[in-house]
Structure 1
């Protein structure tokens, strides 16, 4: 029927079109699959990748063809047999528990072991930040709000209503959804075509202040003698970044010169007591690994010490949960 709009299901297109106006060059899309690896997001067909999810959604397709209104079959959800969690046997101390040092004990900067590949990437001690950004908005600029596909066509575009997602995208156990409205689906195209749940004004330029924080994924594990904290990050500066320790506190400050000196901070009061002098830091190409020597032979139930009135509540330091996304939410921060 002439004039009736149908949905195109080609990846990266997402437009609606009239059947009688569908030509060989109507649709620009990606024939490949989307991939999410570490902090990168991209398409397998054209090898374009980025760290920002909105920028990923705005990557133009690398193939031109007709629109397709045939919805691809939903992938079958795999039922995983999740093994039982192995119980951690707590090592009973052979001596009286140590007296816990104060949280505000002076911090010691740990000199890291830097991998040769990381050293090569940062041979120059100064990073250039001489990029000059024009104040003018270019025609064809995409709205920076997540989920909005509006393109800037001139000053008249400012008067339009922006429909977007104020939350963040989450990919977990085959499901894809936005944290703000949580309309869950297993189909990636259906996820991309979900209409935003909030309206407001279009944003044509990123807020530089908001881009100063980097969300990196991190985790911790332990042995009988050490606690390991791994922060998954790339393109950080090994010379500007700082790792500090005291017997009951870990402080990390990673600097990312390629992102206008954006930072990742992790400040945690440790669950147990460590020997700072026997702890070490390794800076690798894809992560920072902090190896802390336990001062007492016991198992830590968590990395962070339960808050008390005489520790973090007397400082301005936010908790670990305030600084870092959950592991199940892809950072896509953190993914």
Structure 2
């Protein structure tokens, strides 16, 4: 037969030329389904064969037999509106509305921690050896030796006599934080990468000097803590040893985290009370107490990255008003007006 009388088959996967007079029920081998492209794989919806190579995909032999199809499918072209051809389409990411923040003083929930077996054994040993000598409580007060340094953070003063207690102590009431190469105090916002500069930072609060190390440890125990985050959680780790889990606690609200760790040997506690840098889901947050640290896993209530762990809360110092002083002239008049003749 002449080539002019042959027609092209438009069935998917065939594409051969055929003689219309010889077109039978099993003349065409084709794919009745549609092409599928998913996860770099190419396949036909009617077959189970998959391939990442496009040429191999085109060479897949059909899976069905039928008549050849001489009818070319109608090509549907999208209608283009020429009036909007020069229009610039601007895409803006949707603005996500931040969740409302609760009040800092809103009620907190006690998080029941998962306690490691090793820490429980150590806590039992500490409780058995926690018998203190009562005589220490009645020991007479002894003045510190001259030259004793103040135990408050960043205070450089030394004890030179009873008059040293009258001076103000400038110190840091918080704790040192080392995070991503930066060093700063939990009570301040000044950050530096140089350790010497960190030690030279002047205190942010004034109070009384503390010359006795034991007394300072009774009020607070220093612990280092750090934090990191993922897309869904913020993890806060407090590095501590020999703390009693039965006398320690973790409290949480949607915007506030409070940690208290009690150390029987020192007779003091580590306290961390911060306003979180984001909103958390309290019901899906957890805590784990281990032998070397406490780790709190905070579930983010909304997607996004936190720029900081907490917002610094400034506490204004309330100064007592100084007693009013009378002018020297008025005092002179009062003394001169006193009649001493009857004495």
TM-score by length of 1: 0.45
- Which has the bigger relative contact order, CA under 8 A and spacing at least 6? 1
Larger Rg: 2
TM-score by length of 2: 0.44
The structure with more helix, counted as a fraction of residues: 2
